[in-house]
Amino acid sequence: MLFNSLTFFAFIALFLPVFFLARGRIRLLWTLGASYAFYGWWDWRFLFLIGTSTLFDYAIGRWLDVTEEPGRRRILVSTSVVVNLAILGFFKYFNFFASSLESLATSLGITLSWTTLNIILPVGISFYTFQGLSYTIDVYRRRCPPELSLLRYATFVALFPQLVAGPIVRAADLLPQLHRDLPFDWQRARYAIELIAWGFFLKLVLADTIGFQMRSDPWFENPERFSALGNLLGVLLFSFQIYGDFAGYSLIAIGLGHLMGYEFGINFRRPYFAASFSEFWQRWHISLSSWLRDYLYIPLGGNRGGRRQTQRNLLITMILGGLWHGAAWTFVIWGTLHGLYLIVSHAVERRVHKLQPALRSRLRPLRFLAIAIVFILTALAWIFFRAPSLDHAVTMLARILTLADPGMTVSHDKIGLVKCLIAVALVIAADAGMETSRFRSTYLASGLWRAAGLMAILWGIALLGTFSGTEFIYFQF
């Protein structure tokens, strides 16, 4: 079920009144049933997998609760990690690794004949797998008490606003909230509506306008047809499309959770205003980057083993983060690029930190240049994220970097391009305003300004929105 569909509006109109009237177990049962209906709307068969995963991780948590012997506890948590990753690996990576091994064998003169499977990737499996893993690992580390109620734990895993595409909410943060029954609150509802409205603006006005009006497929699937500037335009527009699409989904999910009385935490914080790649990953998909930091980077050793080990750990973390996004070598390269970006970014930050405070203060005006560099490098990395194959990505990047066929050749509707650029300009202006602490504090403190802002957002959606009902990009991950 899509947030940007009439079916979802009917669903939420039915769900919310009963949710706020119910209390205790009835509220949990209603929420769990609605969440399963929401998830099963795509394919009811997916419910068996999420149900099995839920039962397994719940049982591991209960066993960890009654087991004190360290060795047995390690076996239990290791079993959880292996089983969860095996399920994820089978559905998401079986054919990728099978075909990659077959290609490698062929290049060595060895003939292999693998049987590939017609596997349907369950929607949101990467997100709820990571959510379940964080629960069992945190219970093992004694950072989260085990949940005794299967109903409450199942609701935590399947809670529909964040089930399909995040944010990835930790058990230690969300499970305690499921123990309380907050009544409807107008003040909370007003803020939730603001979040939801801006989320729909990012999706319908920014992401879907770019996707529908410009249709980035020709750029990425036939980059040789376009000039260097034409390809660069396609890359820049996709950079804003994926931002609007995913940040929009996250805001709608966070707003729905807030309306229900649950705090999910922020997932995007104006990432294209980052002045370093360390800062970028503190602003982009925050729930995933913090998950990779706490459950992969730090266990690998983090920055505790010296510079070389830190660089190795950063690279491994980002490569696996890229692979998490998709079963293709293009995603591996995308993650590798961001790993290299982070390594260089850390080196620059160390050098800047060693400078005298007076000299560092003189570098502050260069922040705008740093933001531009980070954005451009991020946009170029998006080529590998979006391209259908490695050959297409290399061709597109080569045409951009070599300034092939100078000029702007864009075989698209010019009016559609203008509409896309207006949407981009509006979002940049809004993000720039909220990036300024003085403006942000003044705006948030004024009920009049916030009411005017909400009306402007709604009018912007009505006048500029593209109501094509397209899926969110991150559903495929």
- Binned at pLDDT 50, 70 and 90, residue 394 comes out as very high
Helix-, strand-, coil-residue percentages of the chain, each rounded to 5: 75, 0, 25
* Cα–Cα distance for residue pair 250/171, rounded to 1 Å: 18
Q: Is 325 a catalytic residue?
A: yes
What is the predicted pLDDT for the residue at 29?
96
What is the predicted pLDDT for the residue at 218?
74
What is the predicted pLDDT for the residue at 475?
65
- Binned at pLDDT 50, 70 and 90, residue 271 comes out as very high
- Binned at pLDDT 50, 70 and 90, residue 113 comes out as low
- Binned at pLDDT 50, 70 and 90, residue 343 comes out as very high
Asked if 248 and 206 count as a contact pair (C-beta separation under 8 A), the reply is yes
The more confident residue out of 411 and 190 is: 190
- Binned at pLDDT 50, 70 and 90, residue 347 comes out as confident
Question: Tokens in use for 153?
Answer: 């734990």
Q: Percent of the chain scored above 90 by pLDDT?
A: 54
What is the predicted pLDDT for the residue at 75?
93
What is the predicted pLDDT for the residue at 52?
92
Phi-psi region of 265 (alpha: psi -120 to 50; beta: other; left: phi over 0): left
What average pLDDT is seen over the chain?
87
What is the predicted pLDDT for the residue at 32?
96
* Cα–Cα distance for residue pair 332/2, rounded to 1 Å: 29
Question: pLDDT tens, 249-270?
Answer: 999 999 999 999 999 989 999 9
Spell out the domain ranges in the chain: 6-181, 187-476
Question: pLDDT tens, 134-159?
Answer: 999 999 999 999 999 999 999 999 99
User: Does residue 116 have a pLDDT over 60?
Assistant: no
What is the predicted pLDDT for the residue at 436?
87
Note the Cα 217 to chain centre separation in Å: 21
- Which single residue is written with the structure tokens 């997932």? 267
What is the predicted pLDDT for the residue at 38?
92
- Binned at pLDDT 50, 70 and 90, residue 473 comes out as confident
- Binned at pLDDT 50, 70 and 90, residue 404 comes out as confident
What is the predicted pLDDT for the residue at 411?
52
Question: pLDDT tens, 16-46?
Answer: 999 999 998 999 999 999 999 999 887 888 8
What is the predicted pLDDT for the residue at 417?
81
What average pLDDT does range 368-376 have in this prediction?
93
What is the predicted pLDDT for the residue at 10?
92
What average pLDDT does range 86-99 have in this prediction?
76
Asked if 163 and 39 count as a contact pair (C-beta separation under 8 A), the reply is yes
Question: Which of 285, 325, 338, 346 is flagged as catalytic?
Answer: 325
Q: What distances in angstroms separate CA 202 from CA 225, 402, 455, one per listed residue?
A: 30, 33, 15
- Cis ω on the peptide bond leading into residue 183 (within 30° of 0)? no
Asked if 400 and 231 count as a contact pair (C-beta separation under 8 A), the reply is yes
- Binned at pLDDT 50, 70 and 90, residue 360 comes out as low
Contacts of 176 (CB under 8 A, 6+ apart): none
User: Does residue 408 have a pLDDT over 70?
Assistant: no
User: Does residue 14 have a pLDDT over 90?
Assistant: yes
Question: pLDDT tens, 378-389?
Answer: 999 999 999 888
Question: pLDDT tens, 288-341?
Answer: 999 999 999 999 988 887 888 999 999 999 999 998 888 788 999 999 999 999
